[in-house]
Structure 1
Amino acid sequence: MISLQSRQDVSVSTRRFTTAGIGLDNMRTCRYWDSRLSMEDSENIRLILAELRKIAAWAEMQRKISKWMLIAMAIFIPVIVVIGVVTERKVKTELDEIRTVERPDWYDVDRCMRLGEFDKAIRLGEELIARTPQYPEGHRRLATAYLAAGKLEKAREHYAEAFRLFPSDENQRVLAVIERRLRSSASQPNQSGDSADLSPQH
């Protein structure tokens, strides 16, 4: 028979072994969960890093887009401004020409004379005088345009018509000077004297 002391020793040994087993299980369990937590933390860190890389790539792309947009604006805005100014001037010139063609008047003839556009002044003057052939001032202005262009025959013709419609001293004087220049075309006239003779008297 087993003595009481032996039974007590076996009981104590059993409790110790059981306690040791429970402690070992707890350690294994803790290590298992530690490894699981470490794996989950690593996965979370990888996900966070991936998101950060996406954000950084998006920010870099936006920076490049902003940079090229600024460069494009710096290049194209002056070009657009220049094109706009040129287009505006062209449209304004075309509108002026349309108005001149549609409704020319003697002020347009005078303006062309001031700008030195004698051929255009003559063309407009001929159109206007065809509408109002009995207008002596129109004949005088047209004759002045012909005279400025160096076409003495046409200038004499219109000055003669202006004198016929309105026989003023000025028209008679200018007509006489033109006829004298035509008669003496072989010789060189005195430019200053003729210019003084041809200037209108007010």
Structure 2
Amino acid sequence: MITLRTYASPIEAGMAKSMLEAHQISCALADENANAYGGAPFAMPVRLLVNEDQVDAAKEILEDAEKLANSDAAGNESSVKDTVADILDELKKLRSKVETNTALVVLLLAGLAFFVFIVLKSSAPARSHQSQTETWRSASAAMDDMDYDKATEIAQRLTAKNPTYYYGYSYLGYIALERNHLKEAEGYFARAYELFPSSENEQRLQAVRKRLEIEHAR
């Protein structure tokens, strides 16, 4: 028998021997015990021995086995690559979904903020009107208490906030009329009629002017 191959590991040598024997190749291992117990496995490799007339067949069997093993390894590597590629694709899809959901959340928050802004903006005039109504009530309360100075102060402040609104001038004219300040009342009623030429404002203005004529005639 001649040496076909040498192996550093007795296990690999035993596997090769079993493979050849399965194909009816007569073979044996040499130096197997020396490798296992000698303490220096690389110095004493295990030799695989075959009959000289079966060398070619044995080589072919072992080479085919190695090719098959390499093919399986390549297949496993390809499978791993495919798996990694699939994982990356799933991660990309997940990232796309996350980005889409994030965009939706941002849009919803923006819409909510805009809605709150519109609500607050629309309610501001109502609050302002309510505040002015309460202040005009304060002016009326001062009039009821005959505190004309306070009523005049409140009415003047409100009129200054909205100088194109006739009501403030009409109210100031009413206060001046109560204080018998006819000339001052005439000026306020004239301004109210100028801003809002209604029949009511005209009647007030004419009534004050008639009283002025009577006062001048005395």
TM-score, normalised with respect to structure 1: 0.47
Report which of the two has the higher share of helix: 1
Higher relative contact order (CA closer than 8 Å, sequence separation 6+): 2
**TM-score by structure 2 length?**
0.44
